[in-house]
Amino acid sequence: MPERIAFVSKVSFMASPASAGDREKVVSKLPGWLRQDLKVRTAQLGIEIQAAVTQGITDWCSLAATPTAVDTSGADSFSTWLPPGQWDTFKTTAADRKISLTQGLAQAVQLWLQKNPAPTVQRPENPRRIIVCNQKGGVGKTAITAGAGEAMAEDANALHPVRISKHFAAALLKNNDSESGGADAAPFAIEDLPGLGLRVLLVDFDPQCHLTQQLDHAPLPMDGDSLTKHMAGEPGGKLRDLIVPIEDDRFGDRLHLLPSCNDAFLLDVKLAGVRAREAALERALAPVESDFDVILVDCPPSLGLSMDAAAYYGRRRENEPAGSSGALIVVQAEDSSADAYALLTTQIEDLRADLSLDIDYLGIVVNHYDARRGYIATSSLAAWMDIRDPRVVGVIGDLKEQKEAVRVKQPLLAYAPKSDQAVGMRALAREIS
User: For the ranges 19-28, 104-113, 369-378, which has the lowest average pLDDT?
Assistant: 19-28
Angle at 52 between CA 48 and CA 54, to 5 degrees: 115
The C-alpha atoms of residue 149 and residue 145 are separated, in whole angstroms, by 6
pLDDT digits (tens, 9 = 90+) for 319-334: 999 999 999 999 988 8
Give the torsion through C-alpha atoms of 428, 366, 385, 362, to 10 deg: -50
Question: Sorting pLDDT into bands at 50, 70 and 90, what band is 153?
Answer: very high
pLDDT at 111 over 90: yes
Mean pLDDT of the chain: 88
Determine contact, residues 125/309, Cβ cutoff 8 Å: no
Scanning 10-140, the segments in alpha helix (DSSP H) are: 32-45, 49-61, 86-96, 101-115
Amino acid type, 2 = P
The kind and range of the H/E element at 414 are helix 412-415
Give the torsion through C-alpha atoms of 216, 218, 220, 224, to 10 deg: -130
The C-alpha atoms of residue 180 and residue 162 are separated, in whole angstroms, by 22
Helix axes 400-408, 420-431, angle to 10 degrees: 90
Determine contact, residues 14/4, Cβ cutoff 8 Å: yes
**Cβ contacts of 184 within 8 Å, gap of 6 or more:** 397, 399, 420
pLDDT digits (tens, 9 = 90+) for 344-381: 999 999 999 999 999 999 999 999 998 888 888 888 88
The C-alpha atoms of residue 57 and residue 183 are separated, in whole angstroms, by 44
C-alpha atoms less than 13 angstroms from C-alpha of 63 in its C-beta half-sphere = 20
Q: In 99-132, which positions are buried (b, 16+ CB within 10 angstroms) versus exposed (e)? A: bbbbbbbbbbbbbbbeebeeeeeeeeebbbbbbb
Q: What is the pTM of this model?
A: 0.87
pLDDT digits (tens, 9 = 90+) for 257-312: 999 999 888 888 888 888 889 999 999 999 999 999 999 999 988 888 999 999 99
Determine contact, residues 307/141, Cβ cutoff 8 Å: no
Average pLDDT of the segment spanning 12-32: 67
The predicted structure's pLDDT at residue 405: 96
The domain segmentation of the chain, as residue ranges, is: 4-115, 128-431
Closest by CA position to 232, among listed 290, 288, 295, 309: 309
- CATH class of the domain defined by 128-431: alpha beta
Average pLDDT of the segment spanning 204-217: 94
The C-alpha atoms of residue 194 and residue 187 are separated, in whole angstroms, by 22
Determine contact, residues 115/59, Cβ cutoff 8 Å: yes
**Cβ contacts of 13 within 8 Å, gap of 6 or more:** 5, 6, 7, 24, 26, 27, 87
The C-alpha atoms of residue 308 and residue 89 are separated, in whole angstroms, by 68
